[in-house]
Amino acid sequence: MRYDKAHKDITRQRIIEVASQRFRRDGIAAAGLAGVMADAGLTHGGFYAHFDSKEALVRETLTEAFGRTNQEFAQRAEEHEGGLEAVIRHYLSPSHRGRSDKGCAAAVLAPEIARHPNATRRVFNAQLDPLIGLIEAHLPEGPEDARRSAAIGIFSVMMGALQLARAQPDPLLSDRILESGIAAALILVHHAPKVVLDHNP
């Protein structure tokens, strides 16, 4: 063989990394493969030596982006005492609001992923699951169903508030949305794990 075995894998990984940023910055539909390849320092023709299709790349980028987010979440939750609050405050911070390309993929891509093929939607949910699980793990005591449900509710506020903050061009109003999101998430952390759902799954 010509190049050493790792060479192509490294390139492939580089494409996935830059793509995961471009997709989060511009949206998947609005991001072109030529731009992604240029970001990786390559020309567009080589793309199909690494991936079957743009959709296949999308699935890889979801795994990559969530992998990083989940790891960062876990680390932050461990380092601080009352770790979940630290995670929530960072998620709804001006710096996360300002860097969607390095931030939570769900907050940028959820509505778009809902329109993608089932295979892609399954990858999205498979990656989202541990993130919700991580929230759940840091919740106060309560029935298992209630805690899982609470974690879903908490992540929903986080994601929703981040999106609204990003859509709001007035910095003061945007800050206020972040603060409201934090307040709501913290209320849910304390109250939601005790509340049992009306009907069971």
Q: Which residue ranges make up the site for a copy of itself (CB under 8 A)?
A: 26-27, 29-30, 100, 106-115, 118, 121-122, 124-125, 128, 148-150, 152-161, 163-164, 166-170, 172-173, 175-177, 179-181, 183-185, 187-188, 191-192, 195, 197-199, 201
CB atoms inside a 10 Å sphere around CB 186: 16
CA atoms within 13 A on the CB side of 198: 0
Q: Which does 47 bind (CB under 5 to 8 A by kind): a copy of itself, DNA, none?
A: DNA
195 binds DNA (CB under 7 A): no
Between 4 and 141, whose beta carbon lies closer to DNA? 4
Q: Which does 110 bind (CB under 5 to 8 A by kind): a copy of itself, DNA, none?
A: a copy of itself
Region near DNA per CB under 7 A, out of 25-33, 84-92, 99-107, 141-149? 25-33
Does residue 137 sit in helix, strand or coil? helix
DSSP 31-51: --HHHHHHHTTS-GGGGGGT-
Would you give the binding string for DNA spanning residues 34-73, x where CB under 7 A is met? xx-x----xxxxxxxxx--xxx------------------
- Rounded CA-CA distance 132/136 in Å is 6
Note the residue count of the chain.
201
Q: Which does 67 bind (CB under 5 to 8 A by kind): DNA, a copy of itself, none?
A: none
Between 56 and 110, whose beta carbon lies closer to a copy of itself? 110
Tokens 């990559």 sit on residue? 64
The letter for the amino acid at 139 is: L
Would you give the binding string for DNA spanning residues 73-102, x where CB under 7 A is met? ------------------------------
198 binds DNA (CB under 7 A): no
Contact residues toward DNA (CB under 7 A) are 1-4, 7-8, 11, 31-35, 37, 42-50, 53-55
